[in-house]
């Protein structure tokens, strides 16, 4: 009898194969960012025409961006909710819940009635579902980052931490590639406006298609086992009843630093993906003049730039493991400051200058975004890591991503169509991040299971 009872204690604990860790952390964030990019593209192309009253195009675009930004306000709430579950119940079940929430909200956006059908109820429902998207993404990123870093081999946390980050460029390419295909099937005679068929039903296809991607993501994540770091926390009796209170009581400084570590990343991210689509498509004769490219041409240019986003996201991992997260990010952030100051000369240099702007901007995005998958989780111990990293990441989304497109359009208007002040805004935010990095310390050698 005693031998039978002792056997389970000596059996090796189940572990996640490295391939499963990589796939589970990558597929979920790819789906989540796909859903967000689908909305971001529709916010520029479709929603100003369908979900707000006809009249002033600039006002409709700003209103659409305001709804886009509303999701960022919900993200810290999602970080708190899912962080609580993740630190108390485990990473696996929490990640499944976040993915389901995002997938259902995105699918329902694709089925919404428009303003001509139901009036102000249309934008009201859009706001509700957009908030649900933000709430879900608030719990998705930190869980995916923890799956990657808590299961990483020694000395390779930054490399593994880049896999959830890689979901951002992949999601962008899939979402915008699908929109391009639909736009090609339903072409418009007016390059400044989608076709009637596109506005009638074509825009709904990418939102409805998310259901297929969610099913794939759920299958992968349901096959995960819990990380050793979380299991050790449970066995040691260190699980906190209120992780949120513990984070702010004992790790408030790390929350603040982590929030500002991400600030420049978020501002650059949404300027290059959302604002740039508006600026690139606006004609020189528009109320807010821009580059005047047609939708298909500029999105193809952006996708080319996003390829560099993915390449440099992956390149940042080995660099950050070798030289440290802090040193890597200080150098990249200084480069972002300079990049913001060069917007006008680059965007005034024709096609070559615009392509250089896209390639450099997205390359810097990869180098600053990649190390965050390891850095933010490393700021916190295992028993509050989901909550702490999630709050830092998502509070920064309010300070950076929620307002970046809106501020960019206002500065674009203030500059009479020139992007000068938008670039200055990026440089200013990067300087704030630089100060936070200088005040912080290196984390690459911490014990991830502590």
Convert the pLDDT of each residue in 135-175 to its tens digit.
Answer: 988 888 888 999 899 989 989 999 999 999 999 999 989 99
Q: Choose among 393, 436, 435: nearest CA to 146.
A: 393
**pLDDT band at residue 7 under the 50/70/90 scheme:** very low
- The per-residue pLDDT for range 91-103, each reduced to its tens digit, is 888 988 998 898 8
Q: Flag the least confident range among 15-19, 77-81, 212-216.
A: 15-19
% of the chain surpassing 70 pLDDT:
95
* pTM: predicted TM-score of the whole model, two decimal places: 0.86
Residue 179 near residue 41 (C-beta atoms within 8 A) = yes
What pLDDT sits at residue 397? Answer: 85
CB atoms within 10 A of CB 427: 18
- Please state at what angle helix 295-323 crosses helix 157-185, rounded to 10 degrees: 180
In b/e form, how buried is each residue of 185-206, taking b as 16+ CB within 10 angstroms? ebebeeeeebbeebbeebbbbb
Mean pLDDT of the chain: 89
Q: Choose among 116, 133, 105, 128: nearest CA to 52.
A: 116
Length of the chain: 450
Contacts for 90 with CB less than 8 Å, ≥ 6 apart: 226, 230
Is 24 domain-assigned? yes
Q: Which pairs with CB-CB distance under 8 Å and at least 24 residues apart come from 151-156?
A: 151/15, 151/16, 151/18, 151/21, 151/227, 151/228, 152/21, 152/448, 153/18, 155/321, 156/317, 156/321
Q: What is the mean pLDDT of residues 217-225?
A: 81
Is 311 domain-assigned? yes
Domain limits for position 404:
17-439
- Domain harbouring 232, CATH code: 1.20.1250.20
Cβ burial of 323 (10 Å; 0-12, 13-18, 19+) is middle
Q: Decide if pLDDT at 257 tops 90.
A: yes
Q: Decide if pLDDT at 246 tops 70.
A: yes
Is 82 domain-assigned? yes
Is 124 domain-assigned? yes
Q: What is the mean pLDDT of residues 259-281?
A: 92
Q: What is the mean pLDDT of residues 228-252?
A: 92
User: How many helices (H) and strands (E) are present in the chain, helices listed first?
Assistant: 23, 0
Is 444 domain-assigned? no
Q: What is the mean pLDDT of residues 79-106?
A: 90
What pLDDT sits at residue 39? Answer: 83
Q: What total number of domains does the chain contain?
A: 1
Q: What is the mean pLDDT of residues 21-41?
A: 83
Question: Scanning the structure block, which residue is given the tokens 């936070």?
Answer: 436
């Amino acid at each position: 009898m005693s031998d039978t009872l002792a056997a389970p204690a000596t059996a090796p604990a189940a572990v996640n194969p490295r391939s499963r860790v990589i796939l589970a952390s990558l597929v979920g964030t790819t789906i989540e960012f796909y859903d967000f990019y689908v909305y971001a593209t529709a916010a520029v192309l479709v929603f100003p025409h369908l979900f707000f009253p006809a009249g002033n195009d600039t006002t409709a675009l700003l209103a659409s961006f305001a709804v886009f930004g509303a999701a960022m306000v919900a993200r810290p709430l999602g970080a708190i909710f899912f962080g609580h579950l993740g630190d108390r119940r485990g990473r696996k079940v929490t990640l499944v819940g976040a993915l389901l929430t995002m997938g259902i909200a995105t699918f329902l956006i694709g089925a919404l009635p428009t303003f001509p059908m139901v009036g102000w109820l249309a934008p009201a429902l859009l706001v509700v579902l957009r908030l649900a998207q933000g709430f879900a993404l608030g719990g998705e990123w930190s869980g995916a980052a923890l799956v990657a870093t808590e299961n990483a081999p020694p000395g390779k946390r930054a490399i593994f931490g880049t896999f959830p980050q890689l979901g951002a460029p992949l999601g962008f390419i899939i979402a915008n590639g699908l929109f391009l295909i639909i736009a090609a099937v339903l072409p418009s005679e007016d390059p400044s406006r989608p076709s009637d068929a596109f506005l009638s039903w074509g825009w709904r296809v990418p939102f409805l298609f998310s259901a297929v991607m969610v099913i794939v993501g759920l299958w992968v994540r349901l096959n995960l086992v819990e990380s050793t770091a979380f299991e050790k926390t449970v066995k040691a009796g260190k699980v906190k009843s209120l992780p949120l209170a513990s984070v702010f009581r004992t790790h408030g400084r790390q929350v603040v630093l982590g929030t500002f570590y991400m600030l420049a990343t978020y501002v650059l991210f949404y300027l290059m993906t959302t604002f740039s689509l508006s600026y690139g498509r606006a004609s020189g004769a528009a109320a807010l003049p821009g580059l005047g490219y047609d939708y298909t041409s500029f999105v193809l240019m952006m996708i080319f730039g996003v390829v560099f986003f993915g390449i440099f996201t992956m390149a940042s991992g080995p660099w950050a493991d070798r030289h440290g997260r802090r040193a890597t990010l200080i150098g990249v952030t200084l480069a972002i400051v300079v990049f913001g100051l060069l917007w006008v000369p680059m965007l005034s240099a024709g096609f070559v200058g615009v392509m250089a702007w896209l390639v450099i901007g997205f390359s810097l995005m990869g180098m600053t975004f990649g190390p965050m998958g390891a850095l933010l989780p490393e700021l916190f111990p295992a028993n509050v890591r989901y909550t702490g990293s999630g709050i830092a990441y998502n509070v920064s989304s309010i300070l950076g991503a929620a307002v970046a497109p809106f501020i960019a359009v206002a500065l674009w208007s203030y500059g009479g169509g020139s992007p000068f002040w938008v670039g200055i805004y990026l440089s200013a935010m990067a300087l704030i991040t630089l100060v936070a990095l200088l005040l912080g310390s290196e984390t690459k050698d911490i014990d991830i299971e502590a």
